[in-house]
């Protein structure tokens, strides 16, 4: 599951990517530093896992992760192939969600591709290019379906009619993710870039991390209007904090009036954006966080660990992580009736700690 990091050139995408993944992608003060997409993995911060590992005296601790892709900067005309447009659009189509980094800081030493800081205008530039790319996709499909619909097939006629409505929706400047879900265009929607869930990332200066500034406020207002999420982060601060020991980093953040790094909130927001939850397995050998889609059954969750577990699923001993930590051990939690036996169709909840029983 990949989140694509997008934005105009020189807005801090690669710096954000490096702070998230510690991947060391090149970051310079000129457009198109990133040409080929950089891939990296970010750990999902989760204090619950640490508490479980300590309770179970685990020898190994394995956190959940999210994959991030640092994609080349987009410019006006990308939908027509300008800049690295075609490559950009191809890379973003491979991602499940989009993190749109927006410049919300002033710095005369960092060139702005359009000459000045304008978060709303920058977002409009990116969104317009994505909408134009999607519009071209829908029009091509409409042309193909429209010709086939002349045969009189009612399903094809219904799809053509719905595609016309989708085309008009996009032409009006609205992203595909705000279009009503409809079976007739479900396949088409799945191919559109603007149908992907989007997180706006306001990249501010260090002084604005705690309370934001007028630029980040504009980004948050726009996100709210779209029904999207927004987080505030200082890429420069994150890069500095990443080089410090943990205790010094916390002390530095406290001086700035910040409880946690923007990186932590960013990763959590990306996790929510993808509709993911975490369940845990915990024991003396290892405590591990596992990622599943919200609404996953116990049997499906077992398959995340091993296909044999899903195939031979019998039951899932399940307890809330907090109850297990409070009890002091799995055995004690079971004695206190805090662990219950669930069947294959049980819907896993965020924070469940599970011991799977299976037979193959």
pLDDT reading at 94 higher than 90: no
Query: Tell me: domain 295-358, CATH 3.10.20.30, correct?
Result: yes
Q: Note the pTM of the prediction, 2 decimals.
A: 0.79
260-308 per-position pLDDT tens digit: 777 778 888 888 888 899 999 999 999 999 999 999 999 999 999 999 9
Segments making up each domain of the chain, as ranges: 1-45+64-276, 295-358
Q: Do the domains spanning 1-45+64-276 and 295-358 agree at the CATH topology level?
A: no
Of 70-74, 278-282, 330-334, which range is least confident? 70-74
pLDDT of residue 138: 92
pLDDT of residue 22: 64
Pick the CATH number of 1-45+64-276 from 1.20.810.10, 3.40.50.300, 2.60.40.10, 3.40.50.720: 3.40.50.300
Q: Would you say how long the chain is, in residues?
A: 360
- Please calculate the CA angle 34-38-40 and round it to the nearest 5 degrees: 145
pLDDT of residue 139: 92
Say which DSSP state 346 is in: P
Q: How confident is the model at residue 76 (pLDDT cuts 50, 70, 90)?
A: low
Q: Write b or e for each residue in 246-282: b if 16 or more Cβ atoms lie within 10 A of its Cβ, otherwise e.
A: eeeebeebeeeebeebbbbbbbbbbbebbebbbbbbb
**Rounded-to-integer distance, Cα 6 and Cα 257, Å:** 28
31-45, 86-100, 188-202, 321-335: which is most confident:
321-335
Residue 177 has φ and ψ, to the nearest 5°, of: -70, -15
Return the beta strands (E) in 46-166 as ranges: 60-62, 65-70, 97-103
**Residue, of 63 and 109, whose pLDDT is higher:** 63
**Rounded-to-integer distance, Cα 324 and Cα 120, Å:** 47
1-34 per-position pLDDT tens digit: 788 888 887 788 878 887 777 644 333 333 333 4
């Amino acid at each position: 599951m990949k989140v694509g990091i997008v934005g105009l050139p020189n807005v801090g995408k690669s710096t954000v990517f490096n702070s998230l993944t510690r991947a060391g992608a090149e970051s310079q003060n000129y457009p198109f530093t990133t040409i080929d997409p950089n891939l990296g993995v970010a750990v999902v911060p989760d204090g619950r896992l640490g508490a479980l590992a300590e309770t179970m005296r685990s020898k190994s601790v394995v956190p959940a992760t999210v994959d991030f892709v640092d994609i080349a900067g987009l410019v006006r005309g990308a939908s027509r192939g300008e800049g690295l447009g075609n490559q950009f659009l191809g890379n973003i189509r491979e991602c499940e969600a989009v993190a749109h980094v927006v410049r919300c800081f002033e710095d005369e030493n960092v060139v702005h591709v359009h000459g000045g800081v304008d978060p709303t205008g920058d977002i409009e530039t990116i969104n317009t290019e994505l909408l134009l790319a999607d519009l071209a996709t829908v029009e091509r499909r409409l042309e193909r379906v429209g010709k086939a619909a002349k045969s009189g097939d009612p399903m094809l006629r219904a799809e053509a009619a719905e595609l016309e409505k989708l085309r008009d929706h996009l032409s009006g400047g609205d992203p595909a993710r705000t279009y009503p879900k409809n079976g007739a265009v479900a396949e088409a929607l799945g191919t559109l870039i603007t149908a992907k869930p989007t997180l706006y990332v306001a990249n501010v200066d260090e002084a604005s991390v705690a309370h934001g500034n007028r630029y980040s406020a504009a980004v948050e207002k726009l996100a709210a209007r779209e029904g999207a999420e927004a987080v505030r982060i200082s890429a420069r601060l994150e890069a500095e904090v990443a080089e410090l020991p943990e205790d010094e980093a916390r002390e530095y953040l406290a001086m700035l009036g910040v409880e946690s790094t923007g990186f932590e909130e960013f990763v959590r927001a990306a996790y929510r954006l993808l509709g993911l939850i975490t369940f845990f397995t915990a024991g003396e050998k290892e405590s591990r966080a596992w990622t599943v889609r919200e609404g996953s059954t116990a049997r499906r969750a077992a398959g995340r660990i091993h296909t044999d577990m899903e195939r031979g699923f019998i039951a899932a001993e399940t307890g809330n992580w907090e109850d297990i930590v409070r009890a002091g051990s799995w055995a004690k939690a079971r004695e206190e009736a805090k662990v219950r036996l669930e069947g294959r169709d049980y819907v896993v909840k965020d924070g469940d700690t599970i011991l799977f029983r299976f037979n193959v």
